[in-house]
Amino acid sequence: MLTNEQILTQLAEKMPGLAISSEIAHDGILNIHTTREQIIELLQLLRDDADFGFNFLTTLCAIHYPELIGRELSIVYHLHNWQQNVRIRVKIFFPIDDPHVPSATGLWPTANWMERQEYDFFGVVFTGHPDLRRILNVDDMEVFPMRKEYRLEDGTRTDKDDRFFGRDGHVGQSFD
C-alpha cells in the first residue's frame, strides 16, 4: 500500500528539482503543491511511474482566492491510483493577471472538457488545449462568473454579513 510518506520520499528522489510543499488535508488525502512550470512533468511522472500509478484523473477544478495577492488562482488536480486505491491532489497557484496553465489534455483526453469548464468560469487559459472555448455559458459572455468579485444576486444586501454575527468573515461571506 502506497502511503503518503512513500509518495513524498519517492517524489524527492525522482524529481529532485521539484519545487514542492505538501500537507495532509482534512480528509486524509495528500495535497502536493507545485508550480505551473512543473505541473505537466509532475502529472506525467505520477501517471506513468510504476511506483506511483496514478492512472485516473478524477477531476480538476479552479479556485479563486482574491486575498492571496500574486497567486489568486489555483487549479487542483484530483488523481486516483486504482490499483492501490490511493488518492492525491496536486495544486498549483498563479496570478490572476497571467492566468496561463499548460493543458493536461495530452495526458488525459478527459481533461478537455474539464479545462474548458474552468476556462469558462474562471478564465484560466490552458495553453496547448485543442479547443479552448466556453462550454456551459453562452459564447458571448464577457466575464468569468465564478470569480469571487461577481455576486450572485443583489449586491447591496448585508443583513447576513458575517461581521454582524461575531465572525471574521468579510462581505463575500454574506448570502448575497
Partner 1 sequence: MQVQSYFSSLDSLDGELATLNLGPTHPATHGIFQNVLKMDGERIVSAEPTIGYIHRAFEKIAEHRPYYQVTPLTDRMNYCSSPINNMGWYMTVEKLIGCDIPKRAQYMRVIIMELARIADHLVCDTVIGVDTGALTGFTYMFQERELIYELFEEVCGSRLTTNIGRIGGMERDFTPVFHAKLKKFLKGFPARFEEFNSLLDRNRIFMDRCIGAGPISAERAMAYGFTGPNLRAAGVDYDVRVMSPYSSYQDFEFDIPVGVNGDTYDRFVVRQEEIRQSLRIIHQAYDNLPEGPYHADVPDFYLPDKPDVYTKMEALIYHFKVVMAEVPVPVGEVYHSVEGGNGELGYYLISNGGRKPYRLHFRRPCFIFYQAYPEMIKGSMLSDAILTMSSMNVIAGELDA
93 is an interface residue for partner 1 by CB under 8 A: no
User: Looking at beta carbons only, is 9 or 148 nearer to partner 1?
Assistant: 148
Angle CA 123–129–131, to nearest 5: 85
Residue 58 C-alpha cell reads as 478524477
Stretch of residues binding partner 1 (CB under 8 A), selected from 10-18, 36-44, 94-102, 133-141:
133-141
Cα gap 71→6, rounded to integer Å: 29
**CA distance readout (Å), 125 to 12, 113, 121:** 29, 13, 11
Query: According to CB under 8 A, which one of 4, 78, 106, 125 is a site residue for partner 1?
Result: 78
Contact at 8 Å (CB) between 120 and 96?
A: no
Contact at 8 Å (CB) between 64 and 76?
A: no
50 is an interface residue for partner 1 by CB under 8 A: no
Strands 100-102 and 125-127 come out as parallel
| Number of chain residues interacting with partner 1 (CB under 8 A) | 44
175 is an interface residue for partner 1 by CB under 8 A: yes
Query: According to CB under 8 A, which one of 3, 44, 137, 158 is a site residue for partner 1?
Result: 137
Residues that bind partner 1 (CB under 8 A): 25-27, 29, 31, 55-59, 61, 63-64, 76, 78, 82, 85, 87, 89, 108-110, 112-114, 117, 121, 135-138, 145-146, 150, 152-153, 160, 162, 165, 167, 169, 173, 175-176
